[in-house]
Amino acid sequence: MPGSADPTSSSSTLSPAEIEAGRKLFAAPWQFLAAAGSLAAVPATTGMEIAFAGRSNVGKSSLINALTGRRMLARTSHTPGRTQELIFFANPANLVLVDLPGYGYASAPKAKIKSWTALAHGYLGSRAALARVYLLLDARHGLKPIDAPLLDALDRAAVSYQLVLTKADQVKPADYEAVIARVREGCARRPAAFPDIALTSTRTGHGIPELRAAIVRLMAQRSAVRPPT
Ligand code: GDP
């Protein structure tokens, strides 16, 4: 809920123990679990899922690779064939990262855009294991009209999502606050948007330990309310 106090908020201080737990969680070996080109091919749930979405070139593969410490885990936008699939990665702690296809290819045929939208929105709207979506935005550009359909789908599905500004190294630290304020303003009326906005850079590592720790906190909360079956 916008403005409500959420304990996973990055503004509520993450303790050194949480940062360390985040490091450990993500240092565990990650494995490719599945690639789903249709909703029918989405694998059975194996743990808490965190999905990453954003327009192509926003830095999504780089962020997943930085979080997991694996340089080549997530595909880059340049990997042909994989761009229309949901990719699932799992680690031994039953955390599953889901890489959604990047949207916003100017040259993509309409039919492809339609099938991507149906797949991504269908997954986002129907997955009980999905704990949070990280919606990535380039810190230099913030929210764009191209992001609206996904934001609308997340709001409709009432899936909790957090905006993550990528490529923070391309913005002067003195401008961070203004950039974040502008994005916050842009999603102020969106009911499922998490009130805090994260800022990351895979070049400098800015925000990466905090994002890992926030996911640890989310896992702890989920297991507190939903004991594992
Ligand atoms: P994707 O299409 O969203 O998966 O984006 P990629 O991870 O492939 O990155 C797109 C481009 O942005 C690449 O040229 C990356 O090197 C660059 N990039 C990714 N993360 C960062 C970052 O934190 N800072 C800067 N300056 N460039 C980045």
Condensed to tens digits (0 to 9), the pLDDT of residues 50-75 reads: 999 999 899 999 999 999 998 777 76
pTM comes to 0.91
CB-CB contact of 55 with 102 (8 Å)? yes
The residue ranges of every structural domain in the chain are: 10-225
Instruction: Assess whether pLDDT exceeds 80 at residue 139.
Output: yes
- Using DSSP, state whether 90 is helix, strand or coil: strand
**pLDDT tens by residue, 157-214:** 989 899 999 999 999 999 999 999 999 999 988 888 888 899 999 999 999 999 999 9
Instruction: Assess whether pLDDT exceeds 80 at residue 45.
Output: yes
Q: Tell me the torsion sign for CA atoms 107, 33, 74, 140.
A: positive
Residues 6+ apart with CB under 8 A from 144: 55, 137
Atom of ligand 1 nearest to the CA of 55: 3
- Residue 180: strand pairing partners: none
Q: How far is the CA of 136 from the centre of ligand 1 (A)?
A: 11
For the Cβ of 170 lying below 6 angstroms from any atom of ligand 1, the answer is yes
Q: How far is the CA of 61 from the centre of ligand 1 (A)?
A: 7
Residue of 20 and 3 predicted with greater confidence: 20
Atom of ligand 1 nearest to the CA of 57: 2
pLDDT value, residue 1:
37
Distance in angstroms (rounded) separating the CA atoms of residues 59 and 65: 10
Mean pLDDT in residue range 36-48 = 94
CB-CB contact of 222 with 129 (8 Å)? no
* Ligand 1 site-directed mutation target among 56, 58, 62, most atoms within 8 Å of CB: 62
Mean pLDDT computed over every residue of the chain: 87
Cα-flanking dihedrals φ and ψ of residue 23, to 5°?
Answer: -60, -45
For the Cβ of 83 lying below 6 angstroms from any atom of ligand 1, the answer is no
Relative to beta strand 86-90, strand 31-36 is: antiparallel
For the Cβ of 79 lying below 6 angstroms from any atom of ligand 1, the answer is no
pLDDT value, residue 79:
55
Class of the domain covering 10-225: alpha beta
